[in-house]
A and B are shown apart, each in its own frame.
Chain A
Amino acid sequence: MYPLVIALLSLFFAGQAIGDDSCASIDDRAKRLECYDQMFPPEAVSKSAPALDEEEVSATNTTSTDPAPVQEPVGQPRSPAASPEVTTATPAAKSAEPEADKGWGVDSFFNRRDAEVIESSIAALRRRETQNMIFLLANDQVWLQDVPRSIDTFHTGDKVTIKSGTLGGYFMTSADGTITRVRRIK
């Protein structure tokens, strides 16, 4: 039931692109997206990223003009809007690692298997007392702080990098070095 709900809903947010507060305040959808385009120009995406789970594939293998959403049903029209700020960059060295290195063992333990890197910026964040922060990134992803700090110096507009952890999960690091464990919820 719920995958269907998600799929249907994804039709609506597939093309949605949210930059920062200034773009978000534009009511006209097309103009707002144009605003985002200017704010976050498209970047090249590595096509050689390691295999990810289904949801991640949608994020990492997209191009600047094809932000295919998660589990988009076949045959449904895609949103014409682009999501140009979706940018993934996997280090070339990591991308070139042979598959044989990704098995279980000491070598795989010390070599990051899924070292994909998501670079974006914080379009909006939600910070309330005693609750985990929620980050809406410019690439349309929503991340939830998994293990909160009492106070963190994340701000709207901050450039952030999200990398997978050695043994799973994700860490989001801001340009000034603030780091927190996060979980993607969209």
Chain B
Amino acid sequence: MKTIRYAFVGACMAMSWPAVYAAEEADKTIEEVVVTGSFLKRSAADSPSPLSVVTSADIEDLGAPDVAEIVATLPWQSGSQTRAATFQGEGADGRTSINLRNLGQGATLPLVNGKRQAPSFYGPSGDASVNINGLLPNIAIDRIEIVKDGSSALYGSDAIAGVVNFLTKKDFEGMDMNYEFTTDEATGEGTVHQVEAMLGIQGDRGGLVASASFMDRGEINIADRYDRFGGSSASSTGQPGRLVPRGGQTIRWAAHGLNPGQPVAGNRYPRNPRGTDFGQADVDCERAAALEVGGPIGPVLGNNVCAYDFGSFFALQASEQLTKFHVTGHYDVTDSFEAYFEFAANDSEFDRLNSLNPNAPSLPIAATHFGAIEDAFRRGIEPISVNNLTRLLGGTRNTPKADRPLDTFTKSNYSDQRLNVGAVWDLELGSREWTLDMSLTKSENDSAITQVQDTQSAQMQLAINGLGGPSCNPITGTKGEGNLAYAASGGNFGAGKCYYFNPFGNSFFNRAGGRQDNLALVNPAELYQWLAGRASSDGSYSQTVIDVVASGELFELNGRTVGLAVGYQRRADKGALVVDTSLKSNNLDFAFGANDWEGKLTTNALFAEIGVPVLENLEVNFALRYEDFDELGTDTVDPKLTILWQPLDSLSVRASAGTSFRVASMQQLFGSLTTVANQTDVLGDSAFRASITNGNSDLKPESVDTYNVGFSWAPSDGFLEGFSVDVDYYRYDYTDIISRQASAGILLGDNLALRAAIAGGQTLVQAVNAGVGNRRQVIRNADGLLLRILPDFENAESAKIDGIDITTSYRFDTNYGMFRVGVQAAWAKTYDVKSGGVTFDAVGQYNEFAPVARPLPEWKVNGTLSWSMENHRAFMLVQYVDSLDYGVDLLTDPRAGAARFWRETVRLVHGQKTSDDFFTRDIKSMTTVDLQYSYSFGEQSFLSSSEVSIGVKNVFDEEPPWIPVNTAYDGTLHDMRGRVWFLRVSAGM
């Protein structure tokens, strides 16, 4: 098919046109086959849709080791998951999505060479996203075309906000290799090594281009930057943790207490026999905090909580190994028939540790528990029954194995494969040229997550009552007999059968503050092993797509050709999740459980696009697409009208209007979703709790009306030669948005109702038992404490969004080299979300509790400066991300309970000033500067070209703005790393 282009070039040259004009024509011809957003051949400069292009040169300039960092620099997106981090991933865990216009993770359609790819993961709302980080080796990417306009009339479901098309180098010949090294200056950690290579062979009748890359990214742990990111990853449950006296008891001083035999004044809970300190925090809380930095951090909130920072088990940047492979080829079977294929695969390992873990059910501990007796002694009171708000294990990642006898890690393995085979047949119908493109694309994803550690609920319930252990018969066994036998035998677990698990600090510290030497109070390592659960799951998704597209010429009109494209697409999607028996048992404290599910969706689509040059310089395009969803019994029809007016060669004006849609994901329709988030319950305590949602096959497809007007101006002569500007105004009216109800909102409603009942004289248990609050969706235990929340998937919200994109650059030549300056700016003017009858503007808001929008800066601006002279090149990128409002009153809003808690823990760890920095709703703007310098060594020995680049990202070592959330920053907005150095060595042969 190359011959098509050559023929055009030849034609241009043959007519003896001026050289520049000939080159221009050649340029246009060559670009005519690669524009995303239309099935009619056209030049990128003639696109009637707003089109942004990231070339391989841009990628090189950014020094980005992966697509995630490329996406992070795009002003047109916000809210994308671009950090391979535990707390910033929203379920992505090392996988990357793109979120154009902040319309949602699944609202932008990714394509590879115009073909679909099976989704790789589900977000916290069940939206399905393609891991665009795994699509292709960077070296294979020729350009990324971003259509910033709804495009379902052409591409079908998911093209709500737009389309991102990754186009590969298909005609490459020779071999290119890169090695890149990146490291974070502040920590010396998180180094990235990436090697990639591409080999291309081309002949007269076809060619083959293969590429591969391997990236090894090191971890940057919260502990590595504890000074900045530590303290806000704290929990109110720890080890040691918090013990809450159960209701209905009178707390009395013991014989060695302040007032022997007397009730403690105010029924307060002493922390020592002298009566100088009160609160629910374990009496050894301070001792544990002194033992090591980064784990237990001491009592807070009036000594009622023994705060514990689990941050050291989690990563700001997770360890990751990513291998990618891609090969594409084409072969001219005849002069008019070309066969092509493409295969891509990736495999990634994403590892993280686990803090193991909040004991979610808040189990009651009897007054006869060995640990409770010892704890009461240290408090100087008679033993009482308490609720357990501790976790199985504490410490830090550096705690010796002897003190933390469980391995707590999660290993994830992700892989995607994609095969595309097809053929292009050039036809002559009469005197008109037509092309028939037929292809089959099969893509699959597999996500295996193995050995997620958790606490087994039933086992813990037995052990907290002295009947734990693999040999204990809970019917006939004697409570705590095993602990006594273990002590008597000097530490032989087999000597006894029925054990207490001791969640108190006295399991580790003796009364003198030393290591506990009374083995009856120590938790044996074998008991930990028995309590721990292991959960594994395997998610899969497969998609088979048949595409048939015929495009060509109809007739001449106004000196130009009326073009038509018609097509058919059939998609067969299958999604499934398989879980192990541990998850199916619903016996896990933290994650609760999950079940197998599977679903399939068959889609048939017909579409047509016609381009009519109504005037010599005015073209009208109309596209219409019909999609039918077999299993859902519903269909959609989406039109799109575009107008392109070119009054001058240098000026084009465009306008478009249309509708787009997104059908619910497989998980939202047929699956189930479990997430775990920090929740503030009715009594003010805050802990991680599971939210579980089942699929809803009655969900309607989301729909959006989109409008865009814009212009491109690129003077080709005069003093403005080299200048170009693109301006677009966009608007989206987004309705029937599929979302998952906010679990925090559900809990808040329940809490408010229960508090009102309590204020009216009922106890919490009475209110719960009387059905007060939301008893369908908030599941509580017998003590009224929170167990789980059950939010629904629903078509609930709508949103009206508009804004302006500006892209401009100016290239000029001087005696000191060639320069190019550029600015890319995105202004989010309006993002009005209507939810539950309430409308709010998400622009400039952090949107922590918003059901649709993610953090949305009003302005995102990039400034670039490129310079090149002889063998030298340099590049500078200035990135500005606007300020945000956290959105709720931190002091009074019930939803900010976690932020108020972390204000205390940060103060405890870092002092008052840092706590004040953290506890702010004004999230400041951030400006970073990246620099890169490259020197070309040209031909060296057998290397036909060679180049070395060095660069610095975040030259001025700017800290990300404080945000009152886990780890005190947001990965969708900012890079948590400070100054980052990178080195790249490239060679071509």
Contact = CB atoms under 8 A, between A and B. Distances in A.
B9 interface: yes
A82 interface: no
A118 interface: no
Given A21-B19, A146-B172, A169-B944, 10 more contacts: A9-B14, A12-B13, A126-B27, A131-B44, A142-B26, A150-B55, A153-B817, A153-B818, A173-B939, A186-B26
A2 B335 contact: yes
Nearest to B989: A166
A74 interface: no
Nearest to A124: B19
Contacts of A169: 172-174, 200, 202, 944, 988
4 tightest Cβ-Cβ pairs between the two chains A and B: A169-B174, A12-B14, A2-B3, A169-B173
Interface string A46-62: 00000001100000000
Contacts of A148: 55-57
A178 B871 CA distance: 6
A129 B57 CA distance: 11
A142 B7 CA distance: 12
Nearest to B5: A185
Interface in B7-49: 7, 9-11, 13-16, 18-20, 22-24, 26-27, 30-31, 44-45
User: Which range contains the number of A residues in contact with the other chain?
Assistant: 35 or more
Given A2-B4, A177-B871, A186-B6, A21 B20 contact: yes
Contacts of A20: 19
B870 interface: yes
B871 A129 contact: no
Contacts of A167: 174-175, 199, 989
Contacts of A127: 811
B938 interface: yes
B19 A149 contact: no
Interface stretch (B539-547, B550-558, B781-789, B861-869): B861-869
Given A147-B169, A178-B868, A185-B6, A165 B944 contact: yes
A150 B875 contact: yes
A18 interface: yes
B595 interface: no
A112 B172 CA distance: 19
Interface of A: 1-3, 5-6, 9-13, 16, 18, 20-21, 24-25, 29, 53-54, 109-110, 112, 123-132, 134-136, 140, 142, 144, 146-153, 155, 163-171, 173, 176-179, 181, 183, 185-186
B870 A176 contact: yes
B10 A171 contact: no
A25 B3 contact: no
Contacts of B989: 165-167
A50 B207 CA distance: 22
B518 interface: no
Contact of B10 (A6, A21, A129, A170): A6
B63 to A, nearest CB: 12
Interface residues of B, number: 76
B942 A166 contact: yes
B809 interface: yes
B173 A126 contact: no
B9 A142 contact: yes
B13 A131 contact: no
B594 interface: no
A183 B10 contact: no
Given A9-B14, A183-B171, A165 B23 contact: no
Nearest to B173: A169
B10 A186 contact: yes
B868 A130 contact: no
B18 A109 contact: no
Interface in B582-630: none
B677 to A, nearest CB: 41
Given A130-B143, A134-B30, A151-B866, A168 B201 contact: yes
B7 A186 contact: no
B3 A3 contact: yes
Name which of B10, B26, B171 has the most chain A CB atoms within 10 A of its CB: B10
Contacts of B7: 2, 5-6, 9
A129 B944 contact: no
A134 B7 CA distance: 16
Nearest to A2: B3
Given A149-B868, A153-B869, A168-B174, A144 B939 contact: no
B60 to A, nearest CB: 8
Contacts of B55: 130-131, 148, 150
B831 to A, nearest CB: 28
A171 B4 CA distance: 24
B724 interface: yes
Contacts of B9: 142, 185-186
A177 B871 CA distance: 5
Nearest to B24: A126
Given A1-B336, A168-B174, A168-B200, A150 B820 contact: yes
A121 to B, nearest CB: 12
A165 B195 CA distance: 21
A149 B939 contact: no
